[in-house]
Chains A and B, each alone.
Chain A
Amino acid sequence: MSSADRDAEQPGGDSGERRPAPRDQPSSTTAKEAALARALERAVERLRAAPLDDLQPTLPRAER
């Protein structure tokens, strides 16, 4: 029995009507993950382009 099957059998604690748990759909996981990774990259690029350095106290450069 998969963990999903086991969990779906847990008692609901009431006698009410309920829906079956959603099933995992086989899909292009790699493509989805790649798309999300690209979205993350774009967000990080946007942050790198923002004027955030003003918030960061900088140490004076050591004199040579």
Chain B
Amino acid sequence: MSASLLSLPAMQTALRRRALSSVELVERALALASSAHEWELGAFVELTPEAALAQARAADDELRAGRARGPLHGLPLAVKDVIDVGGVATRLGTPGAGHRVPSADADVVRLARAAGAIPIGKTATHELAYGMTTPAVANPRDRTRTTGGSSGGSAAAVAAGLAPLALGTDTNGSVRCPAALCGVVGLKPTFGRVPRGGVAPLAWSQDVVGPLAENVAGCAALHAALTERPALADLRRADELCVGADRELCERAAAPEVGRSVLAALDALAADGARVVEVKLPDQALAGAASYVTIVAEAHRAWGSRLEHGEAFSADIAAALRVGAQVSADAYLRAAQARTLLRRQLAELFAASGVDALAMPTVPVVAAERDAARVLLDGGLRPVESAHARFTALASLCGGPALSVPCGVDADGLPIGLQLLGRPDGEAALLRVGAAVERGRGGAPLA
């Protein structure tokens, strides 16, 4: 039996009942990830078997001694390669810029380890986490398709069953977009609540670290570890939840199959006992413009001096960094004003409607061909990058939490994600709604 044949709940049950040891689980995950077929997927850039197996042996010793650390105890974890793992090279997806071997774990890796998770390797990232396609990685659902990005390696690792849990980063949708296109769950936590020590910066005012997992419960458990809070006791209550939906937006601004799938999931939510009310969402195009200006300027602030000193970036990222130098103070300040305006509008919307979450597609299209620069949307061809960020920029700009949960597949079996935006620190409500969406489609991972 390979690790990919075990669901996350089955792994947890097997560990708890000692039907399977953590060493066996980690060995299976490593063997699968390094097999020729899965290695060609490109999800991992490096595996760390010695360190992983040493930690797995310690985890088994603890279980034998009756010391369980919680729901993550003994489970393999994939870590995006912009996040430091002590003693393992951080390469950021660049040809050379910023490469180093950190002596210590990033805070999030330290917290995940403390909760019992076991890092098994580093996953591929769009260079510097600055892009939404992750070209080096194939989508496990269809290897001719993109994973989305920038946490494409982490999403692919979870979707392929190489690891049940992964860490990603999200500055403009980089956890949620690949989660949606690969058919897994991804959470962008509230800005500032998850520590960023040991994580390579892209845009200081929007960068967050977030969990990806096969199911909502796994995402909730990893998020609890990263924020040092107790895991949610009950994800099953949906009857007191209220979700706001902009149906016109779903029908107008997403591909037809995506819009239909999201609306069907909302109908299923209502049937599960949640209240679904119609709302009008703030201007997402304004959010996209403000987020773009902010990120371009802040990425130059973070990496421009390294470019000037001759460190090696790809031609495309070097061009993006140079363009960042062109952002005027006036433009950056207008973006900050747009953030203030949109935050105010979101707060007023939550207060007036009383909703716990705002629902919309995560990405308006399904996964495009890997080499596609444009996708069909709004009756024309649109750049892939901006299409992928159409619905994710708002939460990134405004700082609130957002969850992507699989809600269906298109006619070709490509996954579709439903995105839930919450109030600041409203992750618990999002995870409960997400769990209800999961139940609505039978609770099983997308096959």
In B365-396, which residues have CB < 8 Å from any A CB? 386
Chain B 298-334: CB-based contact to A (< 8 A → 1; otherwise 0): 0000000000001111111011101100111001001
Residues of B within 8 A of A55 (CB): 337, 340-341
B49 engages A15 (CB within 8 Å): yes
Task: Check A52/B338 contact, CB under 8 A, given A22-B127, A26-B315, A40-B296.
Answer: yes
- The residue among B48, B49, B127 with the most chain A CB atoms within 10 A of its own CB is B48
B315 engages A25 (CB within 8 Å): yes
A47 engages B315 (CB within 8 Å): no
Task: Check A33/B286 contact, CB under 8 A, given A18-B46, A19-B45.
Answer: no
B315 engages A12 (CB within 8 Å): no
Residues of A within 8 A of B290 (CB): 43, 47
- The residue among B48, B136, B289, B310 with the most chain A CB atoms within 10 A of its own CB is B289
Subset of 16 A-B contacts with CB under 8 Å: A4-B95, A4-B312, A7-B312, A10-B101, A12-B46, A16-B46, A16-B49, A17-B39, A22-B93, A22-B95, A24-B315, A36-B319, A36-B320, A40-B296, A50-B341, A54-B341
CA distance A30 to B331 in the complex (A): 23
By beta carbon, the residue of chain A nearest B386 is A39
By beta carbon, the residue of chain A nearest B318 is A29
Chain B 342-363: CB-based contact to A (< 8 A → 1; otherwise 0): 0000000000000000000000
Task: Among A2, A10, A27, A36, point to the contact of B100 (Cβ < 8 A).
Answer: A10
B99 engages A10 (CB within 8 Å): yes
A48 engages B334 (CB within 8 Å): yes
B286 engages A21 (CB within 8 Å): no
CA distance A2 to B48 in the complex (A): 27
Task: Give me the 5 closest cross-chain CB pairs, A-B, nearest first.
Answer: A4-B96, A13-B87, A7-B99, A46-B289, A18-B46
In A14-64, which residues have CB < 8 Å from any B CB? 14-19, 21-27, 29, 32-33, 36-37, 39-40, 42-44, 46-48, 50-52, 54-56
By beta carbon, the residue of chain A nearest B98 is A7
By beta carbon, the residue of chain A nearest B89 is A12
A13 engages B88 (CB within 8 Å): yes
Tell me whether B4 is interfacial, beta carbon within 8 Å: no
Nearest-CB distance from B156 to chain A (Å)? 14
A21 engages B94 (CB within 8 Å): yes
Tell me whether B292 is interfacial, beta carbon within 8 Å: yes
Residues of A within 8 A of B99 (CB): 7-8, 10, 21
A13 engages B49 (CB within 8 Å): no
CA distance A18 to B127 in the complex (A): 17
Residues of A within 8 A of B323 (CB): 33, 36-37, 40
Nearest-CB distance from A60 to chain B (Å)? 21
CA distance A51 to B88 in the complex (A): 48
Residues of A within 8 A of B45 (CB): 18-19
Task: Among B96, B314, B338, point to the contact of A3 (Cβ < 8 A).
Answer: B96
A24 engages B312 (CB within 8 Å): yes
B312 engages A15 (CB within 8 Å): no
Residues of A within 8 A of B47 (CB): 16-18
Tell me whether B6 is interfacial, beta carbon within 8 Å: no
CA distance A10 to B289 in the complex (A): 39
A15 engages B50 (CB within 8 Å): yes
Residues of B within 8 A of A12 (CB): 46, 88-89, 101
Nearest-CB distance from B88 to chain A (Å)? 5
Task: Check A40/B292 contact, CB under 8 A, given A14-B49, A18-B47, A46-B286.
Answer: yes
Task: Check A32/B341 contact, CB under 8 A, given A43-B289, A52-B334.
Answer: no
CA distance A5 to B96 in the complex (A): 8
Task: Check A46/B285 contact, CB under 8 A, given A21-B91, A40-B292, A52-B341.
Answer: yes
Task: Among A14, A25, A40, point to the contact of B326 (Cβ < 8 A).
Answer: A40
B319 engages A47 (CB within 8 Å): no
Extra 15 A-B pairs, beta carbons < 8 Å, given A15-B49, A40-B292, A44-B331: A2-B312, A3-B312, A4-B96, A13-B48, A16-B47, A19-B44, A22-B94, A39-B386, A40-B296, A40-B327, A40-B331, A44-B334, A47-B331, A47-B335, A47-B338
Tell me whether B121 is interfacial, beta carbon within 8 Å: yes
B319 engages A32 (CB within 8 Å): yes
B286 engages A37 (CB within 8 Å): no
CA distance A24 to B314 in the complex (A): 5
CA distance A26 to B320 in the complex (A): 15
Chain B 93-122: CB-based contact to A (< 8 A → 1; otherwise 0): 111110111000000000000000000010
Nearest-CB distance from A4 to chain B (Å)? 3
B334 engages A14 (CB within 8 Å): no
Tell me whether B255 is interfacial, beta carbon within 8 Å: no
Residues of A within 8 A of B312 (CB): 2-4, 7, 24
CA distance A24 to B88 in the complex (A): 23
